[in-house]
Amino acid sequence: QVQLVESGGGLVQAGGSLRLSCVASVTYFSIETMGWFRQAPGKQREVVATIANSGLATYADSVKGRFTIVRDIAGSTMYLQMSSLKPEDTAVYYCNAEARERAWFPLREYWGQGTPVTVSS
């Protein structure tokens, strides 16, 4: 089982910073990749950033240079450090993890409940 819990969302003014956290509770499964997604009102869910076990990170063009994803493997915690926030960053942010029980099994996706972020102008 994989359970993900996000926290750290809130209200911040444009240009400000915020750090989101995702705590993963895992039994029997091993997480290989984690990431952050977001969904704004009336918009489809989009990927924000991902990070693999190797530490390789990817970012959406819209957040590159402003957001940083960090994964604490020992603590099973992932962070999203957001800076220079813009009103268009307003969305519900979701923690995502890909995990599997065995190395030869296909990866499965897991999601947290989401934490809202509102950036005012």
- pLDDT, tens digit, 9 for 90 and up, residues 67-109: 999 998 666 899 999 999 999 999 999 999 999 999 899 999 9
Average pLDDT over residues 5-21: 98
For 8, 15, 70, 113, the CA distances from 55, given in Å and listed in that order, are: 22, 27, 8, 24
Taking alpha carbons only, the member of 14, 34, 40 closest to residue 116 is: 40
